[in-house]
Amino acid sequence: MEAYRQRYEAWLASPAVDEASKAELRAIRDDEDELKMRFGSTMEFGTGGLRSKMGAGTNRMNFFTVAQATEGVARLIESFGEEAKARGVMLGCDSRNNSAAFDRRCAEVLTAHGIKCYLFDELRPTPMLSAGVRYFGCIAGINITASHNPSAYNGYKLYWEDGAQPTGDIATKVADFIASSDIFADVPGPEKVNEDLIVSVGADFDEIFMNLCMAEQVYPDAVRRDADELRVVYTPLCGAGYRIVPEVLRRIGVKNLYTVPSQIVPNGDFPGLDKPNPEYPAAFSEGIQIAEEVDSDLIIANDPDCDRVGVMARDAEGKFRCITGNQMGSLLLDYIFSALEEQNKMPADPYAVKTIVTSEMATAICKAHGVELYNVLTGFKFIAEVIAKHEAEGVGTFLLGYEESYGYMKGPYARDKDGVVASMLITEMAAWYELKGMTLIDAIESLYKKYGCYTENAAEIYMEGLDGKEKISGLMEKLRADEPETIAGSRVVNIRDYLAETSKNTLTGEVSGTGLPKSNVLYWATENGNVVVARPSGTEPKIKFYILANGADEESAAANAKACTHSLEDMLGMPHDSLKK
């Protein structure tokens, strides 16, 4: 009998598996592909944790896989001794179906091992979990969320004692402990819970967190000075930001705040949203209707776990336009620097951090304001490492960290992207510009005139199914083997293979290190300053492509981005205009 079929039969035979799960499994008995998908492998525990569709099986998110992952975390904490157990684990979740129940299951497993748990009394934004780990001095944190994925998914994010997701050998050790445990025999059942070790976290910490956020205001008077004119439409996309974000906005002075009725209530089915993702214009359709009714120039949307934020603003013709993650990062950088300078509050040793797939406009902005900029691999855990290093050395003043995928972080209280503080800063920035007679779209165009025009194109290829991993690996190897000489007619002058940890200057032939950790990423830079990056997703079965282009004006930058995309399609053997997000 095949191994996947043996695992399937073991689940059906186990007295630990509930009858509903068994009925679900019996229904797929004759579907070999589905059996292989569910039992042919286990979810891989990466540095960010786990993510998959919900359902019965070793490769799905369910009570058993969540409990086994938590068993791995518990065994690692036990290995550090009683002090680590007493420090405890912060537990949180988003609005997804089963999230609260999975969260509770984590508490049951941890307390059965004698590990203290800080458990939120209801769903909270992901950055509150990170902040809670730091505030309560926890050894770790676990957040049940699948971020912006469709409703069929759920996930498990691990945080460590600094409030960041682990980058070193912590995740490897957890994965080893998980692999060494039997999913049924070695995991404590719900009856083993120790209620005395569960500390409920509620409104008191809400106040602490909101005050920490509001302490990060850059120009506190802006919103109050513009309060009569400023109108903000907000949607949490049926997620965890539904309560905290509106309260923060009201506390900084927003008088005219309008929410989207169908999306302000948490709902794991995300009705009307194919993808509850603020990167996609479709997520704003109901918000636009509200904005038109109330004559608002600004719509803010968080993803379901409230660590990302997307924005739409009116252009000169009165139409709503999406502001991309790259554009918003550039806007926030320039705003923070300019507003601090305007108030004579710019620190003597400022620095910012972005990822390698984020627009190079940040480089131009930081250079103009005398701010040191660091580039890191994708993921806020790497941004957090830069901050931790500066804190350990007692140097530098951190002003902003961000990545192109709509995540922003400011302040020392958390070590992950924060949709709460970002929503606050964006609102403050919109008021600051409105006092100058400008919308955020006007502000973007002003940046283009000042720093040059930068644009981007993002694309992805999904490779689902049993052989998805092999296809992704094969395509990346093909790209490594067939190094491009030109992209969009411009010579490729730098090729970086972060997996091989090499950076090659094609003009001189010189090869050096990348200076960053090993990662399955390919990076090509051209003579005219365009960049193309290929990176398999860490959470979904796809390869993501980033095209970062520039030009003298928006038209030429857009033409460069399109030409780079066509070159990439040629490299992949695809027809032009077929590679889309």
- How many Å apart are CA 383 and CA 377, to the nearest integer? 8
Rounded to the nearest 10 degrees, how much is the dihedral formed by the CA atoms of 21, 27, 33, 36? 30
Exactly one of 21, 95, 147, 151 is catalytic; name it: 147
SS3 491: strand
- How many Å apart are CA 316 and CA 94, to the nearest integer? 37
CA dist 437 → 73, 221, 311, 319 (Å): 53, 16, 19, 17
Cβ contacts of residue 377 below 8 Å, gap of 6+? Answer: 355, 356, 498, 516, 517, 519, 521
Helix axes 126-136, 419-434, angle to 10 degrees: 110
φ/ψ bin of 362: left (φ > 0), alpha (ψ from -120 to 50), beta (otherwise): alpha
Asked whether the beta carbons of 398 and 387 are under 8 A apart, the reply is yes
Residue 338 among the catalytic residues: no
Asked whether the beta carbons of 258 and 197 are under 8 A apart, the reply is no
In terms of Cβ atoms closer than 10 Å to its own Cβ (0-12, 13-18, 19+), residue 496 is buried
- How many Å apart are CA 563 and CA 566, to the nearest integer? 5
The amino acid at residue 372 is E
Closest CA to 43 of 54, 34, 27: 54
Helix axes 419-434, 325-342, angle to 10 degrees: 60
Asked whether the beta carbons of 561 and 577 are under 8 A apart, the reply is no
Closest CA to 235 of 308, 317, 153, 324: 308
Helix axes 3-13, 19-26, angle to 10 degrees: 140
First-residue to last-residue Cα distance in the chain = 41
The amino acid at residue 146 is A
Two structure tokens written together for 571? 């490299």
Tell me which residues are annotated as active site: 147
